[in-house]
A and B are shown apart, each in its own frame.
Chain A
Amino acid sequence: MSSDGLRVDGVSVHFGATRAVDDVSFTVAPGETVALLGPSGCGKSTLLRVVAGLERPETGTVHWANEDLTSAPPERRDFGLMFQDHALFAHRSVAENVAFGLKMRGQRAAESAKRVSEMLDLVDLAGFDDRSVEALSGGEAQRVALARALAPSPRLLMLDEPLGSLDRALRDRLATDLRSVLAQLGQSAIHVTHDQDEAFTVADRVAVMQAGQIVRIGTPFEIWNDPQTAFLATFLGHPNIVEGSRFGGAPGPATLLTTALTKAEGDEPLRVETTVVSQEFRGDHFRVRVRTADGSELVAHSTHQHPTGSTMTFAIDPTGLIPLVD
C-alpha cells in the first residue's frame, strides 16, 4: 500500500503498565490539517511525539509517502513541531529563532534573512527581528514559535496545544489566523488540542482520542452531527443523552440536540411537557435545565428567561434525535 503524505500504522507506546498510545492508525494527506482532539491524558501529545521522532513506538510504523521514518531521528524527518510552551531559544533574538531551522539546513544568515522576514510578515510580526524573545507577550511568542516551525518549509507541521496558554478571545482569533496561514501555504499539519472549538476551526478532519485510541475520525460536520457514542456526544458538549423511543425514535440510547428542542406552538406531533429546574445566562442565550414528567432532565436553549418551577412545553424535531451505539 502506498500513499502520499503521512501514514501512521498500528502505533503503540507504553509507559510502564499504562498504554499511552494503543494501536493507533491514521493518515494526513498533503495539504490537509488533521486535529487530534481529546481530553488531557488521552495520549494525543505522546502520539505527536512519536510522529516527530521524539518518542520511539513499541510497535507500529510511521511513513511519509513510501519512506519508513519509524526509526529516523527527529532532525532527519523534515517535520516541524510547535511546542505547547513554545520552547523558544531564550538566548537568541526573534529573527535568530526563526532562522534556526534554515541554519541547520546549511543556509547562511544572508540567505535566510529573506525567508525570515517573509515568515515574520506572515505571522504579523514584521520588524520584531532583533527583539529578545523574553520580552514577548504570550500571543507574540506563540506566533514566533509558528514562524520558526514554518520557516524551513517542513513537509509536515505539528502543533501541540499551540493556543493552550492563551485567553479565550485571543485563542479564537489566532485559531482563525492559523487556519488561513496553513491554507495559504498548503501545509500538511497535525493539530493537537483538547478544545473542540479550536479543532473544528482549524482542521479539515478531526481524530478524537480516548484512552490512547482514536475512537472516531471524520470532518467536524460529520462528527458533530453524528457522534455515534455517548462518550463522544458528551465530550462534544451534547447535554442530552436520552432513550430514543421516548422521543419518537428507535429504541436505544440517542442524543437529542439542543437545537431540536424548540418552544411548542401547539400543533406539533411530538411534544414534551417540562418544569424549569434552573437556568444559566450564557450571553446570547439562556441554558435552561428542565425536568420531564418521568423525572429525567433535559437541557434546552432559550432566548428568554423562565422562572424556576414554571412549565415549558417543547416541540421536538425528530431529525435532531441521533441514535448512538453503546
Chain B
Amino acid sequence: MALVLAVCFFGFFFGYPVITLVIRGLRSIADDRPSQVLFGSAFLRIAWFSLWQAVVSTVATLIVGLPAAFALARFDFAGRALFRAALVVPFVLPTVVVAGAFESVFTRFGLDSGAIVLKDTVWAVLLAHVFFNYAVVVRVVGTYWESVDRRPAQAARVLGASARTAFVRITLPQLRPALVSAAAIVFLFSFTSFGVILLLGGPGMATIETEIWRYAVNRIEFDVAAAVALLQLLAVAALITLTSYAESKRERARRTGTQAKTRLTAPRGRQWLIIFGAVGSATALCGIPIFTLIERSLLTGSGYGFANYEALGTQVSLLPTSAAAALTNSVSYALMAAAIALVVGGCAAWAASQGSAGARLVDVGLTLPLGTSAVTLGLGVLIAFDRSPIDFRSAWWIVPVLHALIGIPFVLRGVLPTLRGISPRIREAAATLGADPRAIRREIDFPLATKALLVGAAFAFAVSLGEFGATSFVPRRPSTTTAPTAIFRLLGQPGDQLRGQAMALSVILMLVTAASALVIERFAGRDRASGGGFL
C-alpha cells in the first residue's frame, strides 16, 4: 500500500517526464540541429568545463573542509556545538541568495573591477561551491571520523610509526568510505550546479546545465535541450551508481560498528591552531557574504534604511507579481512540498526498509531526482505535461510537486537508515510480547523514525524555499513566481533600486531558510538522521 502510493506518485511526476525527455532526446539526437550542437566544438568545451570545475570544486572543498572535520571529530572546544549546528545553514541557503551575497561582496569590496576581479569569473563559482558544500565534507567526514576506532592508529604508533605515518597509513584509509561518499556528493552538486553558474559566472560562462536551460527557455529549441539533458542524465546516473555503492559501504562500516565511541579531548598547543584556522576560515567564508548581503539590503540612495524592504510590496514591471506575493507563494509551496515529501518519502522509506527484492530499487529510484538535476526535471515536466488532459505546465501546483520530488530524497535518506538501523531483536521482542505486525509498525517503527521524518520534512521545506532550477522552467505567472525566481529576475537587471529589492528579498528568504535549518538541528541533534542522510 505504502509502496503503491510512492511508486504511483513517483512514476507519474518523475518517471513519466524523465522517460518522455529520454525518448525526445533519443529521437532528436540523430537530427541535424541537435547533433550539430552536441558534437560541436563549442559544446565540447562546455562539457569539459562542467567536468573540471566540478572536480576542482570537490578537491577544494575537501581541502578546506578536512581540518574542520578533524577538529570536530577529535576536540572538545568552546563553541563546538554551535559551530557544528551553524554548518547546516550555508548548505540549505538558496542558491540565488548566495549568489546575491557573493555579488554584494564583489561590489562592496571593489572586486568587480580593478586589480583583482572575482565577479563573473570561475573563481566566484568555485568559492560559491565551496561555500555550499563545506558542510557536506565537515559533517560527513567529521561524524564518521568521530566513530573511527583510534586503536589501530595507536597500535601503529606503539609499533614505531610517526604521527604522520600513522595518519597516512592507518587513519586516512579508515576514513576512505566517508571521503569517497562526501566527494561524490560534492561532485554531484557542483556538476549539476545551475543558479551559481548563471548568476556568478557572468554571461560568458556555460555548463551542460545552463545550456539545457538556455536552449529550452531562451531559444525554445526543445529538441536540442532534450538531447543535452539526455547526456547530462547519463553522466549523473553513472555517478549516482558510484555514490550509492560508496554509501552502502559507509552504512556497512557504520553497522559493523566501530562503535568504540572515543572521547573528545581538550585541545592543546598547536591543536588550537587547527581549530582556530578551521573555525575562523569557515566563519569568514560564510559570514562575510551574509553580512555584506544584509548591509547592502539596508543601503538606500540616502544612507541606511528599510526602503528596499518597504518596496517589496509594490509590483515592479519586471515581475508578474510583487516580491512580497512571490515570498508568500514560496512559503506556502514549501509547506506543501514538505508535506508531500513527508508522506511519499515516509511511505517509500518504510517500503524499502522491509527488505523485499524491490527495496534496493526503491532506494536508488527515489534518490535519482537528487542527481537528476533540477533543470532536467524542469525540462521533463515542461515537455511531458504539455497537452490535455495532462497539460499541467502552467498549473500552480506543479511547483510544489516539483519541489517535493527534489525534497523526497532528503526524507528517504534520513528515514531509511533509521528504519534499517532498528535491530531486528527489537521487533522480535515486541512480537513475543504480543505485538502483531501492525502494532510493531505503530509502536516501534513509527516512533523511532519520527525525528528523522521531521528532519527530512524540514529539509524538504528548506530545499523548496530555495529551489530555482526546476522552477525556472515553469511558465512565468503570478501564481508560479517564487521568491528565488523573483530574486533572479531582479538581480539580472541593472539599477540599484531593483538590486536593493533583490537583496532585501534575499535577506528575508535567508532568515526563513535559516529558521528551518534551526528546526533541523534542534530535532536532529547529533543523530545520524541529521542532514537528511547527506550531512
Q: How far is the CA of A105 from the CA of B447 in the complex (A)?
A: 20
CB of A64 closer than 8 Å to a CB of B: no
- Contact partners of B443 in chain A: CB under 8 A: 100, 103-104
CB of B79 closer than 8 Å to a CB of A: no
Nearest CB of chain B from residue A36's CB, rounded to whole Å: 17
A89 x B426 contact (CB < 8 A)? yes
CB of B423 closer than 8 Å to a CB of A: yes
Q: How far is the CA of A18 from the CA of B433 in the complex (A)?
A: 30
Most central of B425, B435, B447, B448 by chain A CB within 10 Å: B425
Restricting to B348-377, which residues have a CB under 8 Å from any CB of A?
Answer: none
A91 x B434 contact (CB < 8 A)? no
- Contact partners of B31 in chain A: CB under 8 A: none
Given the known inter-chain contacts A104-B439, A148-B433, please indicate yes or no for A81 contacting B428, CB distance below 8 A.
yes
- Contact partners of A103 in chain B: CB under 8 A: 443
CB of B8 closer than 8 Å to a CB of A: no
CB of B429 closer than 8 Å to a CB of A: yes
CB of B235 closer than 8 Å to a CB of A: no
- Contact partners of B423 in chain A: CB under 8 A: 85, 87
CB of B432 closer than 8 Å to a CB of A: yes
- Contact partners of B434 in chain A: CB under 8 A: 75, 78, 101, 104-105, 152
Partner of A74, one of B426, B431, B444: B431
Q: How far is the CA of A100 from the CA of B443 in the complex (A)?
A: 9
Task: Give the dominant DSSP class at B's interface.
Answer: helix
Q: How far is the CA of A192 from the CA of B291 in the complex (A)?
A: 65
- Contact partners of A74 in chain B: CB under 8 A: 428, 431-432
A101 x B428 contact (CB < 8 A)? no
A101 x B447 contact (CB < 8 A)? no
CB of B436 closer than 8 Å to a CB of A: yes
Given the known inter-chain contacts A73-B436, A104-B439, please indicate yes or no for A87 contacting B431, CB distance below 8 A.
no
Closest to A52 in B: B432
Contact with A along B404-429 (1 / 0, CB 8 A): 00000000000000000001011011
Closest to B439 in A: A104
Closest to B447 in A: A91
- Contact partners of A105 in chain B: CB under 8 A: 434
Nearest CB of chain B from residue A154's CB, rounded to whole Å: 8
A79 x B432 contact (CB < 8 A)? yes
Nearest CB of chain B from residue A73's CB, rounded to whole Å: 7
Closest to A83 in B: B425
Partner of A87, one of B428, B447, B448: B428
Q: How far is the CA of A103 from the CA of B443 in the complex (A)?
A: 10
Restricting to A33-91, which residues have a CB under 8 Å from any CB of B?
Answer: 52-54, 73-75, 77-81, 83, 85, 87-91
Given the known inter-chain contacts A75-B436, A85-B425, A91-B447, please indicate yes or no for A100 contacting B431, CB distance below 8 A.
no
Q: How far is the CA of A183 from the CA of B337 in the complex (A)?
A: 59
- Contact partners of A80 in chain B: CB under 8 A: 432-433
Which A residues fall within an 8 A CB radius of B?
52-54, 73-75, 77-81, 83, 85, 87-91, 100-101, 103-105, 148-149, 152
Given contacts A104-B434, A152-B433, 5 further A-B contacts (CB under 8 A): A53-B432, A54-B428, A83-B428, A101-B434, A104-B435
* 14 residue pairs A–B, Cβ–Cβ below 8 Å: A53-B431, A54-B431, A73-B436, A75-B435, A78-B434, A79-B432, A81-B429, A81-B432, A85-B425, A87-B423, A88-B429, A148-B429, A152-B433, A152-B434
